[in-house]
Amino acid sequence: MYKHLQTSPEAILAIENFNLPSSFDFGKVICPVMIVCDFKNGEWGALNMIPYQTISLDPTCKVFHYGQEIFEGMKAYGVEDKGPFLFRPEENWSRFNLSAERMGMAEIPKDIFIEAVSGMADYNRDFIPNNIGESLYLRPFMIATDNHLGIRPSITFKFMVLASPSAEYITSDYVKVHIQREYARACPGGTGRAKTGGNYAGSLKASMEANKLGFHQTLWLDALHKESIEELSGMNFFAVIDGVVHTPKLTETILDGITRRCLIKIAQNLGYEIKESHMKISELLKQIEDKSCTECFMCGTASIIVPIAELCETDGTSYSLTYSKGQVAKQLRETLLGIQEGRLEDTEAWVTTLL
Ligand SMILES: Cc1ncc(COP(=O)(O)O)c(C=O)c1O
């Protein structure tokens, strides 16, 4: 059934001996196996599933010094004894290679990537939690493994996939978002469109400061003028203004979210007008004040869709959306999750069933 994936007897034993804990949050419990595939001499080697274990790397390994690293986030669903399903895995594969290209790393063939993520969902199917909103979170990633302290691109890489039975990423339904007017997440010509660790490392100080101020997430604005809304540190942004669903138009500094793309399609199918444009924060705040903006929400694979209750300035000024019932976000979330979990008809052929 698998052309590339090789599974060791130790991996099978590790799966047999694993028990899914009764409680887990997001990303803490890790499945007992992992996938490893090395790139050297210009080609990808064997795709192996082995017991979960630490990996040994030379301290000069390039990833430690120059951050040549990329990753993806995706989920396998198995709610109410349906599935297991993967959701648009080819989209994660193509974004992975887009990130690889931007970071000067080896691209990975589609069949290797898809076998790796399918194999992890397949062999770990008993560890897919089965309540609505829960899933097996899959984390494909790749690191640069040349042992050399010079600043130059690696020519060897390690691709791996981990799996984590997970609850929803954000469980609170009251999210306060900090409008970040000092730092920038991504700049023109930079790596914002790639899913590379450095983008996230650079966002952490802002998230620490937001937390200290009592806020939960950071809203990033464009680096040059600090005026156009871009996205959150791990999610895309939407607003409902006069009944129209708005989202920032993609630029090279915004991650092209797969959830974002699905929501645009779902909203259109539900009859909403969609507008992708440069959204000015100053205008949005006025629209929240005059109540023409009735909802703001954020979306991503891990978090699904989370309504924003308040947009906040550093000095504590708050623009509240708590009067809104978040009906559009709720409808989009129920539709998307219903499709992902096989509870609603998959009219767009987004879902792959693992046999
Ligand atoms: C910076 C950033 N924006 C947006 C998203 C949402 O992307 P997706 O919907 O593909 O998970 C993510 C999550 O991967 C992200 O890290």
Q: What is the CA radius of gyration of the chain?
A: 21
pLDDT, position 63: 98
Q: Ligand 1: distance of its center to the CA of 149 in Å?
A: 31
- pLDDT < 70: residue spans in the chain: 323
Query: What is the CATH number assigned to the segment(s) 175-340?
Result: 3.20.10.10
For 5-166, the fitting CATH number among 3.40.50.720, 2.40.50.140, 3.30.470.10, 3.30.70.360 is 3.30.470.10
pLDDT, position 347: 96
Pocket of ligand 1 contains residue 228 by CB under 6 Å: no
Ligand 1 pocket test: pick from 87, 259, 265, 337 the residue with the most ligand atoms within 8 Å of its Cβ: 259
For residue range 257-306, list pLDDT tens digits in order: 999 999 999 999 999 999 999 999 999 999 999 999 999 999 999 999 99
pLDDT, position 325: 74
pLDDT, position 322: 79
Angle between helices 258-269 and 327-340 (to 10 degrees): 110
pLDDT, position 254: 98
Ligand 1, atom 15, lies closest to the CA of 234
Percent composition of the chain: helix, strand, coil (DSSP 3-state, to 5): 25, 30, 45
pLDDT, position 355: 84
pLDDT, position 24: 86
Domain assignments of the chain as residue spans, ordered by start: 5-166, 175-340
Tell me the pLDDT of the chain averaged across its residues: 96
Q: Among the atoms of ligand 1, which is closest to the Cα of residue 301?
A: 11
DSSP E strands, the chain: 5-7, 33-40, 43-44, 47-51, 69-71, 74-77, 85-87, 135-144, 157-166, 175-180, 217-221, 229-232, 236-241, 244-248, 274-277, 293-300, 304-312, 318-320, 351-353
Q: Ligand 1: distance of its center to the CA of 85 in Å?
A: 20
Q: How far apart are the first and last CA of the chain?
A: 10
Q: How far is CA 330 from CA 71, 246, 307, 333, 335, in A?
A: 29, 16, 8, 5, 9
Contact 108, 101 (CB under 8 A): no
For residue range 66-77, list pLDDT tens digits in order: 999 999 999 999
Contact 253, 231 (CB under 8 A): no
